[in-house]
Amino acid sequence: MKKFWILSSIVVIVALAGCKTQIEQKHTVTIKGHELTVQLVNTPQARQKGLGGVAELSDTEGMLFIFPDKAVRTFWMKDMLIPIDIIWVNETTVVGFEMFVQPLLTQAQAGPVLYSSSNPVNHVLEVRAGFVEEYDIQVGDEVILNIS
């Protein structure tokens, strides 16, 4: 019985240590002095899901898509429930954006609308609809990535 409690204690300690590591992994993006806590997306499976199924996004949340190379990126609103703004980022500079992109459910039934960056980018930031307008985000603005 003593071995059981020792083993159980070790399992709990290891589990709590893992939780603490996850909680401390805070990834942020700052743009025009506004800090966002972002979820990083850097695998094909995660990119395909994106914000699909997310019902709400606060003023301080976002999703940062990270790509290994620079290319013209194309997004669509598959499984999206909320409108968003898409910010195209090359390294640490805004090179363009799409505002008030609507969920696929509210788009015409002729097929999905595709949104593409006009320049090659290696980061794409998705934020709540209205963010770009509210914070006067402009092409050329610096984006500070705290994602390591």
The full set of domain ranges for the chain reads: 26-146
For 117-134, the pLDDT digits (tens) are 999 999 999 999 999 999
Overall CATH class of domain 26-146: mainly beta
Rounded to an integer, what distance in angstroms lies between the CA atom of residue 132 and that of residue 83? 13
CA-nearest of 41, 34, 62 to 122 is 41
For 18-71, the pLDDT digits (tens) are 333 333 357 999 999 999 999 998 877 767 766 776 778 889 999 999 999 999
- The residue type found at 78 is K
